[in-house]
Structure 1
Amino acid sequence: MSDVTETTDTSQDFDVEDASLSKGSATDADSSAAPHSRLDDEGDVAADYIEELLDICDLDGDIDIEVTDGRAYISVNASGESNLRVLSRTETVAALQELTRLAVQTKTGEFSRLILDVGGSREQRQRELEKLVDGAIAGIEAGSMSAHLEPMSSYERKLVHDIVAERGFASESEGEGRDRHTVISRA
């Protein structure tokens, strides 16, 4: 069985790019005013969905819920002898995240921007993105005017923008839909 731990950080950092996707829903500022906010409810629904999935797959995991930066973060970590590796591939986590978002949207009637992490997959992806950015910056330092990265989710693009800024370079998102990607250049 899974254990669920819930933590809440009421700091709200709103992502304008994703804000247009949640038209008609309560604003993040409104949700932080209530003791049990929309994001807390979203996390609870997502945790229930993931817990059922783990039971079906006969996997044990501890589920942590955190609300921060205007999103619900759901982390599933191995408990005991659990083999969560079967669910922690980047593509699998992305698919599970979308299914979980759909389950939340079905239950709450509102668009969800929740982030799912399985067995530290987000931390691993962060390291992959750092290597990708470092390679692109090396190309720019070798004489390229800019570097176009592969298309990725808005959350991953935000991580890339943060990494690029830490490295003293500039970045912007270009393209539409599934082709939206980050372009890195000198600051």
Structure 2
Amino acid sequence: MTTPADQTVATQTTEGPTVNRQAEYQQVAAELNRYLGTIISQLGIDATSTVEVKHRHINMNFKTEQEGLLIGKHGRTINALQSLAQVFLNHKRFSKLEVTLDVANYRERRVETLTRLAENMAREVVATGKPVYLDPMPSFERKQIHSVLADNEHVMTYSAGTEPKRAVVITLK
């Protein structure tokens, strides 16, 4: 991992919170960048990051030759780092800030995968008449499944189970 001084912290603001609040958001984003940089370095991954602050959202994009290692199996590593980042923000009293971590457009590819999964499973539910229980996934991924099928007139979705094994169920209306 490069040192925090080598990392780029690009900030962009939009209308919303006051200028002072945006300055605080940028400062905590820089602290978060250093914190995650240390963790990623300790994982033995050499990566650089860019940080973008928009209103109440922090986007952190990592560039590395070890993308698979940073993403982890089924996104577990990047999701765990994102959870740590949110805990860091909560600890710093910035619980209203949301953070998204990404590596090599993994999040965009994951949204496409979840969209296809939702549509395919909805077709299966309509064809068989039996509900489908998807594998457990983080809340932001479950929300993607729910939103893809929200306007489907044949199926409905709900979440079942308890964290961290909460899963989406797709069933006939």
For the Cα contact (< 8 Å) 1:39–1:67, is it kept in 2? Answer: no
Provide the TM-score with structure 1 as the length reference.
0.68
Which of the residues 133, 139, 151 maps onto 2:118?
133
Check 1:66–1:179 CA distance in 2 against 1; reply closer, same or farther (3 A cut).
same
Matched residues, percent identical?
20
Which deviates more, 87-96 or 54-63? 54-63
Distance, in Å, in 2 between the alignment partners of 1:39 and 1:186 is: 44
Alpha-carbon distance between aligned partners in 1 of 2:77 and 2:36, rounded to the nearest angstrom: 13
Larger deviation: 93-102 or 49-58? 49-58
**Hey, what does 1:100 align to over in structure 2?**
85
2:8 paired with 1:7? no
Task: Give deviations 1:82-113, integer Å, cap 9, x for gaps.
Answer: 4141212311101222232333344x145464
Shift in CA distance, 147/179, structure 1 to aligned 2, threshold 3 Å:
same
Separation of aligned partners in 1, 2:160 and 2:47: 40
1:170 and 1:161 map into 2 onto residues whose CA distance is 8
* 128 and 145 in structure 1: CA distance in 2 versus 1, 3 angstrom threshold: same
Task: Give the TM-score, by structure 2 length.
Answer: 0.72
- Please list the CA deviations of residues 91-140 of structure 1 after superposition, one character each: whole Å capped at 9, or x if unmatched: 1101222232333344x145464221122221222122123212311211
Helix, strand or coil for the counterpart of 1:172?
strand
Name the SS of the counterpart of 2:150 in structure 1.
Answer: helix
Q: Name the SS of the counterpart of 1:7 in structure 2.
A: coil
Aligned to 2:71: 88
Cross-structure match for 1:64? 51
Which blocks of at least 5 consecutive residues in structure 1 are unaligned? 11-31
**Matches of 2:12 and 2:152 in 1, distance apart?**
31
Q: Matched residues in 1 for 2:27 and 2:172: separation?
A: 42
Q: Which moved more, 1:151-160 or 1:122-131?
A: 122-131
Shift in alpha-carbon separation, 1:52–1:161, aligned structure 2, 3 A: same
Per-residue CA deviations over 1:28-81 (Å, capped at 9, x if unaligned) read xxxx4322346545433322323444555462423132436x5433222x2xxx
> For residue 154 of structure 1, what is the amino acid of its counterpart?
S
- What does the per-residue CA deviation read over 1:122-171, in whole Å, with 9 as the maximum and x for residues that have no partner? 12221221232123112112122432222221111111112222655432
Determine if the alignment matches structure 1 residue 119 to structure 2 residue 104: yes
